[in-house]
Amino acid sequence: MTPRDRAAARPATTLVRFWRYVLVGGAAAIVDLGGFVGLDALGAPVPAAAAMSFLIAMAVNYALSIAFAFGAQAGLRSFALFAAFAAIGFSINVGVTAGLALLAGLWPPLAKLLGIAVAFTFNFTANHIIVFPQPGGAGPRRR
C-alpha cells in the first residue's frame, strides 16, 4: 500500500473536512450568488430569487459533498438528512437575505452573501456531525 493509499484510507480530520467543505460551499455559493444576481437583474422579487438560487445551489452542494468534502456514499438516508438540514439552512439563508435587504435596506447582493455565510456555518456543522459522521466519531449511530 502506497502512502497515498494509506492517506486515502484514513478518515479525514474535522479540519480537512472543513476546508473541503469550504471549497464545496464556495462552489455552491458561486452558483447561489450568481443565480440570485441573474434572477434579481431579471426583476424577480428578492425572496423568490434567493429561494430559487439556493435550491439550485443545494443540489450542487450535495453532489460535491458526497464526492469530495465528506467522501460518503450517496443514499436515501444521507439525502433525506441533507435535504432536511438544507431546508433549515434555506430558511436561514432566505430569512437573513430578505431581512437585511428588505428591512435593513442593505444592498441585496450583500444581504445574500451574508445569508449564505450564516447558512454555511449551520450546514457544515449539521453535515459534519449528523449527515456524514466520521467512522468512530460523534454523530448518530447506525443500526
pLDDT in tens, 68-92: 999 888 888 998 999 999 999 989 9
Residues 18, 69: Cα–Cα separation, whole Å: 8
Q: Which residues of the chain have pLDDT under 50?
A: 4, 6-7, 141-143
- Provide the pLDDT for residue 136: 65
- Provide the pLDDT for residue 10: 56
**Burial track 80-102 (b if 16+ CB lie within 10 A, e otherwise):** ebbeebbeebbebbbebbbebbe
Among 18, 11, 19, smallest CA distance to 136 is for: 11
Residues 84, 90: Cα–Cα separation, whole Å: 10
